[in-house]
Amino acid sequence: MSKLAGVVQLLKKEQDRLTKELRGIGAALAAFGHAYGKRTGTRRLSAAARARIAAQRKRWAKARQKASDEPAKVVPIKAKKRLSVAARRKIAAAQRARWAKVKAGR
């Protein structure tokens, strides 16, 4: 029974050590929690920053207005080149000849 009492005593010491360590970690988290916690709320911009953003909005509005005043430039789309019926027949015949050669080689 003395061995069992010794083991229990060692386990209690280990428990006390771990409890103490956890308290230290909790204290560290409490100290750094405010610095690294989730940021909630709105960001506040300086008056100068708000003025720069407003000026940029005006420039964008002016550019959009200018673009809408001008007629849209229409770029003609070139027609796709298509093969003639005779050219397609020649290609098909050549492909059939290639496959016939492959099958004959087997």
Q: Give CA torsion, residues 92, 97, 98, 104, to 10 deg.
A: 150
pLDDT tens, position by position, 50-99? 999 999 999 999 888 887 777 767 778 888 889 999 999 999 999 999 99
Residue 49 host element (H or E):
helix 47-69
Distance in angstroms (rounded) separating the CA atoms of residues 70 and 23:
71
Phi, psi of 34 (to 5 degrees): -70, -35
The DSSP secondary-structure symbol of 84 reads: -
Distance in angstroms (rounded) separating the CA atoms of residues 96 and 77:
35
pLDDT of residue 39: 67
- Where do the structural domains in the chain lie, given as residue ranges? 1-37
pTM of this structure: 0.31
